[in-house]
């Protein structure tokens, strides 16, 4: 149980434990190294992540990837007042979650206060304790603090070390300190350890996919040293409908040249799906590529060309996503097909569904070349479907959010989906549900104890095919 700190403990300072080892102890050297890392880091189009996942090795090794995780933070420095830091304990074995007694943490760049009031919200949790022992010589949180000091202005921290505890407990703890736009969650974790370089990269790529799919239950110590903290954050992400994107990946071998036994590093950003949006340039890449694939297929019997990517795509376009592609002609549907579950990279899913919408929608004949100039093409990127608990039709209707919720229903081996924009054609929730049941081949008033409903959000964008084909 969390104990009240004594008066002397309230004045305590957590002194640097790994300065001079994991990062420079001299302030000017540290500031210069951080600046170099920020120049090396990859810039992402993600504007407002709620959760940041960053590696915690020595800054000389993982600093570039960590900088990719924190790259956009300075733009929101005026909003962020609190950072919840959560990571693994490497040197002290314990059960539960540990909090330090210090009221301030010190690095060569200065002191950062602890939000003691927010920390006390964890007091009722039996798995949480005040215990300084796990923080001795521990680096997982401290290594990331200078990045935060370089990116933010005035902020407080809630430092949490995770021991042997279920990810659900970490999720519960994060829920208590989640806060609003003024709070961000920073999860500290490296990826695989001490594998040959190519094996590590392949292994970490699978881990990236698991993280983007919110598969908390498939993470373990082999995939990430901070797997319990990361899994706890993914449980919250699933509950609150966050979209997760890997934005940078590397290994220690990329920097040292020694590829015999490397450590993997990954940077991930989690944002609310309802607010998530690709950049206009990223949207344009998807739309133009889809339009060109469509035009090629129209001239070649519905067959898509083999895709060759010249240059590196932004990782936002290779994240695992479920998409729907819709074709309209004069404001009327001309084809619409997609994926309900993410199972391949975003660009690949969009292109595959473009071909299916044009030539695989059984409601319509295949699209012809003569129709291209009159078509509009739109892409919807779906969030992860979340079950709706409802014991009756009315309870389900009461749970729905018109204009925002996409809906999937399933029963008796039949299923159907409506994208959120269908609300514009069917604004009445009762009629919306009846039409969706009929689409699934069920009676309009069908209900049974086995009836299942799932909601999702979608980012939708589009353009006329003619303008996309004319784009250079």
pLDDT tens digits for 405-424? 999 999 999 999 999 999 99
- Topology (CATH level 3) of domain 7-272: Protocatechuate 4,5-dioxygenase; Chain B (3.40.830)
Per-chain mean pLDDT for the chain: 95
Sign of CA pseudo-dihedral 232, 236, 238, 242: negative
Domain 280-383+459-470 has CATH 1.10.260.40: no
pLDDT over 50 at 4, yes or no: no
Q: Break the chain into its structural domains and give their ranges.
A: 7-272, 280-383+459-470, 386-456
- What does CATH list as the number for 386-456? 3.30.1490.150
Residue 159 CB-density burial (10 A; 0-12 exposed, 13-18 middle, 19+ buried): buried
Average pLDDT of span 27-38: 96
pLDDT over 50 at 170, yes or no: yes
Give percent of the chain with pLDDT exceeding 70.
97
pLDDT tens string 351-406: 999 999 999 999 999 999 999 999 999 999 999 999 999 999 999 999 999 999 99
pLDDT computed for residue 310 by the predictor:
57
Average pLDDT of span 279-286: 96
pLDDT computed for residue 457 by the predictor:
96
pLDDT tens string 87-143: 999 999 999 999 999 999 999 999 999 999 999 999 899 999 999 999 999 999 999
Using the CB atoms, write b or e for 282-312: b if 16+ within 10 Å.
bbebbbbbbbbbbbebbeeeeebeeeeeeee
pLDDT tens string 283-335: 999 999 999 999 999 999 999 888 766 557 789 999 999 999 999 999 999 99
Q: Do domains 7-272 and 386-456 have the same CATH topology?
A: no
pLDDT computed for residue 313 by the predictor:
79
pLDDT computed for residue 40 by the predictor:
86
């Amino acid at each position: 149980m969390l104990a009240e700190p004594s008066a002397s403990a309230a004045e305590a300072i957590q002194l640097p434990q790994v300065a001079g080892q994991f990062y420079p102890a001299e302030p000017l050297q540290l500031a210069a190294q951080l600046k170099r890392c920020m120049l090396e880091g990859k810039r992402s189009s993600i504007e407002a992540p709620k959760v940041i996942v960053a590696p915690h090795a020595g800054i000389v090794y993982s600093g570039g990837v960590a900088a990719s995780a924190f790259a956009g933070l300075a733009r929101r420095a005026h909003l962020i007042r609190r950072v919840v830091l959560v990571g693994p304990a490497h040197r002290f074995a314990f059960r539960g979650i540990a909090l330090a007694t210090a009221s301030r943490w010190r690095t060569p760049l200065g002191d950062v206060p602890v939000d003691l009031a927010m920390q006390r919200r964890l007091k009722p949790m039996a798995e949480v304790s005040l215990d300084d022992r796990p923080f001795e010589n521990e680096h997982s949180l401290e290594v990331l603090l200078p990045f935060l000091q370089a990116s933010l202005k005035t902020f407080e921290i809630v430092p949490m070390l995770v021991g042997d505890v279920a990810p659900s407990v970490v999720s519960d703890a994060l829920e208590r300190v989640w806060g609003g736009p003024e709070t961000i969650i920073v999860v500290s974790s490296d990826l695989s350890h001490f594998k040959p370089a190519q094996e590590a990269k392949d292994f970490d790529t699978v881990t990236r996919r698991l993280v983007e799919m919110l598969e908390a239950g498939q993470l373990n110590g082999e995939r990430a040293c901070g797997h319990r903290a990361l899994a706890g954050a993914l449980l919250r992400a699933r509950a609150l409908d966050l979209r997760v994107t890997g934005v940078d990946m590397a290994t220690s071998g990329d920097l040292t040249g020694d590829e015999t036994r490397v450590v993997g590093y990954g940077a991930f950003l989690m944002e609310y799906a309802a607010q998530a949006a690709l950049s206009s340039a990223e949207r344009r890449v998807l739309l133009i590529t889809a339009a060109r694939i469509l035009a090629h297929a129209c001239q070649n019997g519905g067959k898509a060309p083999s895709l060759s990517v010249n240059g590196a795509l932004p990782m936002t376009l290779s994240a695992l996503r479920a998409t729907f592609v819709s074709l309209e002609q004069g404001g009327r549907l001309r084809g619409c097909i997609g994926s309900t579950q993410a199972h391949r990279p975003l660009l690949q899913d969009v292109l595959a569904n473009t071909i299916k919408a044009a030539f695989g929608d059984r409601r319509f004949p295949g699209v012809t070349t003569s129709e291209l100039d009159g078509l509009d093409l739109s892409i919807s990127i779906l969030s992860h479907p979340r079950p709706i608990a409802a014991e009756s039709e009315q309870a389900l209707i009461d749970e729905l959010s018109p204009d925002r919720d996409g809906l999937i229903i399933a029963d008796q081996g039949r299923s159907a989906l409506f994208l959120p924009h269908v609300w514009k054609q069917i604004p009445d929730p009762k009629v919306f549900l009846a039409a969706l049941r009929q689409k699934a081949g069920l009676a309009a008033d069908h209900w049974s104890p086995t009836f299942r409903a799932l909601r999702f959000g979608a980012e939708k964008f589009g353009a006329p095919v003619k303008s996309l084909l004319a784009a250079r």
